[in-house]
Structure 1
């Protein structure tokens, strides 16, 4: 005898007195209560539409932060002395960076964020990064259904979509809360998560990070402020970089292919009366995506670009700080290992987007930037950012010496004014964006 559809069988078959082939007498009453509870939960989760319920994600993230204890997780208000210390550290760091790079300051303001601030300010970027993944997985549910089942399901498909959005939102909310407790700056994962032209540091998290380092907290704060400021210089004055980083993550996510055969097994684990079971099933690894050749290409591009960004920041900050901070070398190595090994932040992102953001080749990229700077000066080194075609490739990271030699032979950017080229690229991209946003001319009325 075939089993009843999932969720409609008796909750305890061994103790159910009714015929095992028939639903219990109060099955329809239970179903009505379940749907009523589900409707209440949907209404309480906000009006967010799309593959992820971001209203719910934000709500859960902030609740998790508030419930964990302010002192333990660094959820204290980042105001007063913290804000002053952050601004002073950033001002000093910007002065030192001016001598280490031709790129001018990129941040128009420096702020101290609490964990709550980080969640609220970075959520728009997370939406852009997570939507492609959620759409792919959500679409797999419908694609896996036989055609007759789709027709019979009818309006229930939209309900399943809402439940899927809630499941993703719940998972995202918990992940954001975990990330908010450990990130040190807005750009620590290598992506421009925060608002444009804004340097942001999280003093409470930095204080936790400093524990056990045996270094003055002021040194750590200035060093991290310099890293954040260096990132912002790149994001602000290399016009193609921000878009390219985010677009490459999107390319990777859009190529996710889900094995729909695993859905049958997953469906058996889901209890419609318990929406949490959906989240548990979706996070169980059963829908582990398969890496396609297109994804692998996007992954290689992203890893190379992240390595170049992080390697450049590493070199420039080391040159800017110099001997000014006695603990700079130790801090530099600590942060290198933190990024290379991948902490909970990188693991969380891998869970959300299916992508690890560890710049595996950061040391090779740093060696390349250091070599070019030593041989040709910072103007030629930083001038490579003026156009993406001038940037080192993954193959160049394999042999930095060869890249430096070829750069000297060809003089790729020897006659370029780096700042002028950056401004030229910015104008071209602004013009292209304006053209794309221009409304189409109305079509002539054929009846006239």
Structure 2
């Protein structure tokens, strides 16, 4: 294969294909038709992704009113239990029960936010593969490779979404709310299958899932910076991606341009490789730490909220740990997006850290840590939670002392009970 001409064009004879050759003209017309839709979709062909994802899912009944009520009741009870485990009020503003296809449709916006920074970077890299001579011949089709990338990512996302839709129990199980923040949603069909596999009562599995869902919504509702922070870490990772031109040429030789579904067999990890820069390593460390802190906080709060009220709580917690260890939705999502393998040990360390913070500062102090990203534990803090608590205690006392000093030196400073009577009725 001529390595100077991507995707096997050199096999047509000569150094460059003759643009007047009828075969070349026919091929260009076919490619133009196929890529026009992909290019209009942006870096990911989401129409193709949804089409392939839904085609891979088994037939499923719609969610009836009985299941809707069961989900609403479970979330309501979960929220009541959580009131005793966290200082934050409920973060749930609505409840819903989704089918798997509804999960795909109603989480599309979040998947775009998660996947498109990476896909855009890869698409730009793919566009740079078209040599100048080829670009002149293609004319308006000079962005052909971006269309190829859009179709490829659409096919790969479709495959990933189908696998996740068949497994996730709620809208937040990948580590963040995929629907709207505050909109708690569970998937009854997946919960029933999961309960059957564990040989546990479906009512208890449903309530356990509702507890985790409601807890995650509390966190993201009150830590308003958290979602954008996760997205910024993914974007920071994406900026360091580069393309392996030899790998993409070899990989694309097996893709049929007339059949986008053939791209599902393409391993993009072999095509796009991390630059392994210090910036990228740091972004991955921060992402791993934040995801572990989220999962650890949810684990601690849910266990405290349930207490001994769920007879099978120990088995449910152990099952959740095994799910993570063998590659649960969170692990699979971020491994697919950025190659991050979230170690279960980090989640356990994060849970331990939150327990230690609560022992010293109470639930209110533990949850106050989420008020700003600069207050959050680092990766090193997961290894030494006592040190984090000691520093956090000292900073809290320092902040209080500084506030008192500023207030005492400010003659205009007033507390909420010290306002002068302005003569107006209150």
Q: Which interval holds the TM-score relative to the shorter structure?
A: 0.7 to 0.9
Match of 2:98 in 1: 113
Q: Residues 306 and 158 from structure 1, CA distance in 2 versus in 1: closer, same or farther, beyond 3 angstroms? A: same
Q: Residues 50 and 329 from structure 1, CA distance in 2 versus in 1: closer, same or farther, beyond 3 angstroms? A: same
1:55 lines up with 2:40 in the alignment = no
Q: Residues 61 and 337 from structure 1, CA distance in 2 versus in 1: closer, same or farther, beyond 3 angstroms? A: same
Residues 244-263 of structure 1: matches in 2 within 5 Å?
244-263=229-248
Distance 1:371 1:22 in 2: 68
Distance 1:344 1:407 in 2: 32
Is the 1:48–1:55 contact (alpha carbons within 8 Å) kept by the matching residues of 2?
A: no
Is the 1:34–1:273 contact (alpha carbons within 8 Å) kept by the matching residues of 2?
A: no
Q: What is the aligned counterpart of 2:366 among 349, 374, 381?
A: 381
Is the 1:7–1:270 contact (alpha carbons within 8 Å) kept by the matching residues of 2?
A: no
What are the ranges of 5 or more consecutive residues in structure 1 without an aligned counterpart?
11-19, 417-448
CA apart distance, 1:268: 4.2
CA apart distance, 1:358: 5.7
1:6 lines up with 2:14 in the alignment = no
What are the ranges of 5 or more consecutive residues in structure 2 without an aligned counterpart?
402-426
Is the 1:52–1:134 contact (alpha carbons within 8 Å) kept by the matching residues of 2?
A: yes
Distance 2:396 2:240 in 1: 38
Q: Residue by residue, what CA displacement relative to the aligned partner does 1:41-67 show, whole Å, maximum 9, x if unpaired?
A: 456x578431111122122222332xx
Match of 1:160 in 2: 145
1:104 lines up with 2:96 in the alignment = no
Residues 339-418 of structure 1: matches in 2 within 5 Å?
339-343=324-328, 346-347=331-332, 349-356=334-341, 360-411=345-396
Distance 2:363 2:33 in 1: 60
TM-score, with structure 2 as normaliser: 0.83
CA apart distance, 1:97: 0.4
Q: Residues 138 and 409 from structure 1, CA distance in 2 versus in 1: closer, same or farther, beyond 3 angstroms? A: closer
Secondary structure, counterpart of 1:377 in structure 2: helix
Match of 1:78 in 2: 63
Q: Residue by residue, what CA displacement relative to the aligned partner does 1:287-334 show, whole Å, maximum 9, x if unpaired?
A: 343432211101111111111111111111101000000111221121
1:331 lines up with 2:313 in the alignment = no
Is the 1:77–1:114 contact (alpha carbons within 8 Å) kept by the matching residues of 2?
A: yes
TM-score, with structure 1 as normaliser: 0.79
